[in-house]
Amino acid sequence: MKNQIYAVIVVSCFCAGGAFAQDRSYSSYFPEGAGPYFRAEAGPSFFQDGQVRNFGGPTSGRVEYDTGGRVDAAVGYALNQYLATDFEVGINAAKIDNAQGYFSADSRIYNLPFMANVTLSCPIPHCIVTPYVGAGAGGADVVFDTDGFSDGVTTVRGSENDVVFAWQAYAGLRFQLSQRISLGVGYKYFNTEDPSFSYPPSPNFNVGFKGVQTHSVMFSFQMNFW
Distance CA 111, CA 5 (A): 14
Mean pLDDT in residue range 51-55: 96
Q: So what's the pLDDT on residue 29?
A: 64
Report the DSSP pairing between strands 50-55 and 83-99. Answer: unpaired
Q: So what's the pLDDT on residue 106?
A: 95
- pLDDT tens digit string along 186-217? 999 999 999 999 998 767 799 999 999 999 99
Mean predicted lDDT score pLDDT of the chain: 89
Q: Locate the DSSP E strands across the chain.
A: 35-47, 50-55, 58-65, 68-78, 83-99, 103-105, 108-121, 129-150, 155-176, 181-192, 196-199, 205-209, 213-224
Q: So what's the pLDDT on residue 32?
A: 78
DSSP 24: -
pTM, rounded to two decimals: 0.84
Judge contact between 168 and 187, C-beta under 8 A. Answer: no
3-state class (DSSP) for residue 68: strand
Q: So what's the pLDDT on residue 22?
A: 44
- Cα 116 to chain centroid distance, Å, stands at 11
Q: So what's the pLDDT on residue 179?
A: 86
- pLDDT tens digit string along 2-47? 444 444 444 444 444 444 444 444 445 667 779 999 999 999 999 9
The DSSP result for 106-154, as a single string, is S-EEEEEEEEEEEEEE-PPTT-SEEEEEEEEEEEEEEEEEEEEEESSS-
Mean pLDDT in residue range 146-161: 94
Mean pLDDT in residue range 65-76: 98
Q: So what's the pLDDT on residue 33?
A: 79
**Fold category of 2-224 in CATH:** Porin (2.40.160)
Distance CA 173, CA 192 (A): 25
